Amino acid sequence: MVKRNFGTVTYPLSGGSQSKPLVITNARVIDPAQGIDGKYNIVLDGGIVKSITEETPPGCNGGADIIDASGLWAVPGLVDMHVHLREPGREDKETIATGTCAAAAGGFTAVACMPNTNPVLDEEAKIRYVIQRGEDCPCRIYPVGAITKALEGEELAPVGEMVKAGAAAVSDDGKTVAKSNVMRNALNYSKSFDIPVICHCEDAALCAKGHMNEGLVSTKLGVRGIPVISEDIIVSRDILLAEYTGARIHIAHVSTAGSVRLIREAKSRGVKVTAETCPHYFTLTDEDVGMYDTNKKMNPPLRTAVDRDAVIAGLADGTIDVIASDHAPHVSEEKDVEFDTAAFGVVGLETSLGVVLTVLVSRGLLTPSQMVERMSAAPNRILGLPGGSLKTGSPADVTIIDPSVKWTVDPAAFFSKSRNSPFIGMGLEGAAAVTILGGRVVYRRG
Amino acid sequence: MKLQARHLLGLEGMSGGDINLILDTADSFYGVLQRDVKVVPTLRGKTIVNLFYENSTRTRISFELAEKRLSASPLNFSASTSSIHKGEGLRDTIRNIEAMKIDMVVVRHSCAGAPYFLTQCTDAVIINAGDGLHEHPTQALLDMMTIRQKLGRLEGLKVAIIGDIFHSRVARSNAWGMKTMGMDVILCGPPTFLPQHHDCLGVPVTDNIDEALEGADVVMLLRVQLERQSSAVFPSVHEYRDRYGFDIDRLSKLKKDVIIMHPGPINRGVELASNVADSEHSVILDQVTNGVAVRMAVLYLLGGGENG
């Protein structure tokens, strides 16, 4: 058991799934994959969804554990398809254990972790290592393998072996595969496997020495900028390469109005492209950097209000399929420094759901059903995972959400090892109340 | 009279009243500098650390001289000899120095915002001696002091600042400070030397030098970093001199009492022709003299010295 102010996570999990059935009663069940939004009772047993019915299930009073979810939402377990768990290599920032506890507390039952660890996840054995380290954890882990060996952008990593070992996707996240011929080959090669190639889009030469969005705020602060075109150019290139090769790509952390426009247009042409954005891009802007706040420094950087609004519009119309956190833990030594010296990246696993509910859902910018689509159904579909729905026979991964609980982001209460949140002090409405993995309660709020 | 500001981080947002107070105080210290004995006892017993993370000869010497002439005890700390080579962060460095009981810190740093960062780490008074591409407030103050000294006023005068605006913290501080003082500033350089987004500077920007010089009372040339040729920012010294170099021809078309300024060091024959730099219009050495007076004023006003 790991306890914090905001609840308790069960870690480590001891083998097997719960023997007793678990029944969730009186929940508002939101499951866009089945077109469901209404009052249902869910029976979880043997690690799967046994039944989902409007009537009270028979035998409910017997040997089953019951969660009365009156006033709460029950949704298919949320998936964060873009996190950095830092293990192996930087266990001072995060470990697979602490990162998955943070995930469970954030309402996530699965995460996809990026390969820019030390060593880089660019071989079968390293993928297996991460999967094995995740075995007793309160959240499923799907490692993403590297596209190129050591993320150097030169030689292809053994995609087939990594997929066989359990990699759910490949990505050189943190870096763009700079050479277009290498990216073309990576896309072509990946077609043999049913995986997306996740694209980190950044023209490195255009953002040399940049530390925040290039705009009025960077001019005023005297900080070198990262222009929106550095993202747009590579989004555009990768869309063209995907179209030419017929491969499937997923654009990571969309931050610009230009990217949204390019992706929307590519989808209308039938290009196999999906995309994600992160809570900070639809909540904050470069104005929030304020007086050089390093907790607002990430890559891509916070953009302008025009970009933020375009990202929101892209989420609403489905151009952007997924909300992921890009959870990027850093120790204070790397953040409590001059702005230019500070590391890029922010944590997000424990604030993602609350921010989405507060900023998008409560303001009517996204319906609850669209939220579940973007945070569960879509990432499961893109990564080819078994979850994303509560239909009978699905994995018994459920997130129970309290949509009205009010709380304030306090990094001291994080399960994550790191504290570098851009939302410190922000008042949120809504959070995960209970997280259920394979039919077992792994997190309970309060 | 006291400054509203507790630190001097920049001129953006500084009130006209504060700027005037600094300039008036600097004028009286200018008087001190004309005496045989150029030292006053105002900051006796105060320890001032000159924390220079970026190479600088003239700014550091100017501050050190200002400190000595106020009878303060300067302590010099430069990157080449310091613990940053041992990997110590800025927070630890300042906390260690502070533990030795110091009163003020003059900081130059290649990272924009480093002086602000220091205000969050220490109780000492922080004076920005140049941070990244952000601000160099004492330079802009000494520029305004010099203009006022030569032309008798600031308000209504037109200033053309020409050169590598993008990389210039001097241009930023002057744009903000001079605008506050009612001056008419225009920034000029080839488009690759101009910030793409510049409305926040609050002054017009142009790549047309004739437009910039039209009706100018003050022309300020900025140093062109010759190494920027290699990063494709401008093609050649020859072409720069031809398009933006300030020479006798350009001078001859301006007002008779126009003054020519440069924050130094000059690339003679690049942004500024030698015969103009040495002409009677040039106030470049006055800027250097006034730099000491302005820095004395800033140290005095922020260091808790009593006026009068």
Min Cα distance A338 → chain B (Å) is: 5
> Does the beta carbon of B114 lie under 8 angstroms from any beta carbon of chain A?
yes
Min Cα distance A272 → chain B (Å) is: 34
**Per-domain residue ranges of chain B:** 16-133+288-302, 137-284
Q: Which of A214, A217, A292 sits opposite B117 (nearest CB)?
A: A292
- Cis-peptide, bond into residue B265, ω within 30° of zero: yes
With CB atoms and an 8 Å threshold, state whether A222 touches B134.
yes
Q: Which residues pair with A49 in a beta bridge?
A: A44
> How many Cβ atoms from other residues are within 10 Å of residue B154's Cβ?
22
Beta strands at B125-131 and B158-162: parallel, antiparallel or unpaired? unpaired
| Number of domains into which chain A is organized | 2
pLDDT category of residue A18 using cuts at 50, 70 and 90:
low
Answer with the residue of higher pLDDT: B79 or B198.
Answer: B198
Residues B107/B127, Cβ–Cβ less than 8 Å:
yes
The label of the residue with tokens 């101009």 reads: B194
pLDDT category of residue B82 using cuts at 50, 70 and 90:
low
Give yes or no: residues A61 and A84 share one domain.
no
- Per residue in A117-142, pLDDT tens? 999 999 999 999 999 999 999 999 99
Give yes or no: residues A413 and A349 share one domain.
no
**ipTM of the predicted assembly exceeds 0.90:** yes
What's the mean pLDDT when you consider all of chain B? 94
- Residues 6+ positions from A312 with CB-CB distance below 8 Å: A282, A360, A365
Q: What is the pLDDT of residue A240?
A: 98
Give yes or no: residues A173 and A122 share one domain.
yes
Q: What is the average pLDDT across B45-60? A: 93
- Per residue in B271-297, pLDDT tens? 999 999 999 999 999 999 999 999 999
Q: Is residue A202 part of a domain?
A: yes
Structural domain ending residue among the three candidates A337, A358, A383? A383
With CB atoms and an 8 Å threshold, state whether A338 touches B200.
no
Give yes or no: residues A223 and A369 share one domain.
yes
Q: What is the pLDDT of residue A5?
A: 86
Residues B27/B145, Cβ–Cβ less than 8 Å:
yes
With CB atoms and an 8 Å threshold, state whether B134 touches A215.
no
Q: Assess whether pLDDT exceeds 60 at residue B5.
A: yes
Q: Could you confirm whether A326 is annotated as catalytic? A: yes
Q: What is the pLDDT of residue A60?
A: 58
Residues B142/B290, Cβ–Cβ less than 8 Å:
yes
DSSP class of B146: H
Q: Which of B12, B90, B196 sits opposite A214 (nearest CB)?
A: B196
Which is it for the CA torsion B280, B281, B287, B288, positive or negative?
Answer: negative
Chain A positions in Cβ-Cβ contact with residue B90 (cut-off 8 Å)? 337-338, 341
The CATH number covering residue A69 comes to 2.30.40.10
Q: Assess whether pLDDT exceeds 80 at residue A397.
A: yes
Q: What is the average pLDDT across A138-160? A: 98
With CB atoms and an 8 Å threshold, state whether A340 touches B112.
yes
Give yes or no: residues A33 and A130 share one domain.
no
Q: What is the pLDDT of residue A203?
A: 97
Burial (CB count within 10 angstroms: exposed 0-12, middle 13-18, buried 19+), residue B109 = buried
Q: What percent of chain A has pLDDT over 70?
A: 98
With CB atoms and an 8 Å threshold, state whether A222 touches B133.
yes
Inter-CA distances, A140 with A14, A112, A137, A400, Å? 14, 8, 7, 17
Cα(A204)–Cα(A218) distance, rounded to whole angstroms?
18
Number of CB pairs < 8 Å for A and B?
Answer: 68
The CATH number covering residue A223 comes to 3.20.20.140
Cα(A206)–Cα(A287) distance, rounded to whole angstroms?
22
Residues B288/B182, Cβ–Cβ less than 8 Å:
no
- Per residue in A216-249, pLDDT tens? 999 999 999 999 999 999 999 999 999 999 999 9
Q: Assess whether pLDDT exceeds 60 at residue B308.
A: no
> How many Cβ atoms from other residues are within 10 Å of residue A332's Cβ?
12
Catalytic residue among A80, A321, A326, A397: A326
Cα(A191)–Cα(A189) distance, rounded to whole angstroms?
5
Q: What is the pLDDT of residue A67?
A: 96
Q: Which of A253, A278, A254 is nearest to A352 (CA)?
A: A278
> Does the beta carbon of B103 lie under 8 angstroms from any beta carbon of chain A?
no
Give yes or no: residues A124 and A211 share one domain.
yes
With CB atoms and an 8 Å threshold, state whether A219 touches B134.
no
Give yes or no: residues A42 and A145 share one domain.
no
Q: What percent of chain B has pLDDT over 90?
A: 88
Give yes or no: residues A135 and A247 share one domain.
yes
Give yes or no: residues A67 and A199 share one domain.
no
Answer with the residue of higher pLDDT: B78 or A46.
Answer: A46
Give yes or no: residues A149 and A253 share one domain.
yes
Q: Assess whether pLDDT exceeds 50 at residue A399.
A: yes
Chain A positions in Cβ-Cβ contact with residue B199 (cut-off 8 Å)? 216
Selected for mutation to probe chain A from B84, B197, B205 (highest A CB count within 10 Å) is B197
Q: Assess whether pLDDT exceeds 50 at residue A10.
A: yes
Q: Which residues pair with A143 in a beta bridge?
A: A113
Q: Which of B132, B197, B200 sits opposite A223 (nearest CB)?
A: B132
Give yes or no: residues A68 and A82 share one domain.
no
Cα(B259)–Cα(B237) distance, rounded to whole angstroms?
24
Q: What is the pLDDT of residue B88?
A: 82
Q: Is residue A140 part of a domain?
A: yes
Q: Which residues pair with B128 in a beta bridge?
A: B107
Q: Assess whether pLDDT exceeds 70 at residue A327.
A: yes
Return the residue of B nearest to A216 by Cα: B197
Q: What is the pLDDT of residue B307?
A: 40
Q: What is the pLDDT of residue A56?
A: 82
> Does the beta carbon of B19 lie under 8 angstroms from any beta carbon of chain A?
no
DSSP secondary structure, B167-228, as one string: T-HHHHHHHHHHHHTT-EEEEE--GGGS-S--GGG-S-EES-HHHHHTT-SEEEE----GGG
What's the mean pLDDT when you consider all of chain A? 96
Q: What is the pLDDT of residue A64?
A: 86
Common-topology check for domains B16-133+288-302 and B137-284: yes
Q: What is the pLDDT of residue B228?
A: 75
Q: Which of A388, A383, A391, A429 is nearest to A408 (CA)?
A: A429
With CB atoms and an 8 Å threshold, state whether A215 touches B197.
yes
Q: Which two tokens stand for residue A381?
A: 């579909």
pTM of the model: 0.95
CATH topology of domain B16-133+288-302: Rossmann fold (3.40.50)
With CB atoms and an 8 Å threshold, state whether A219 touches B113.
no
Structural domain ending residue among the three candidates A356, A383, A410? A383
Give yes or no: residues A220 and A127 share one domain.
yes
Structural domain span for residue A337: 78-383
Residues A316/A256, Cβ–Cβ less than 8 Å:
no
- Per residue in A257-267, pLDDT tens? 999 999 999 99
Min Cα distance A284 → chain B (Å) is: 20
| Residues B137-284, CATH architecture | 3-Layer(aba) Sandwich (3.40)
CA within 13 Å, CB half, A230: 24
Q: Assess whether pLDDT exceeds 90 at residue B16.
A: yes
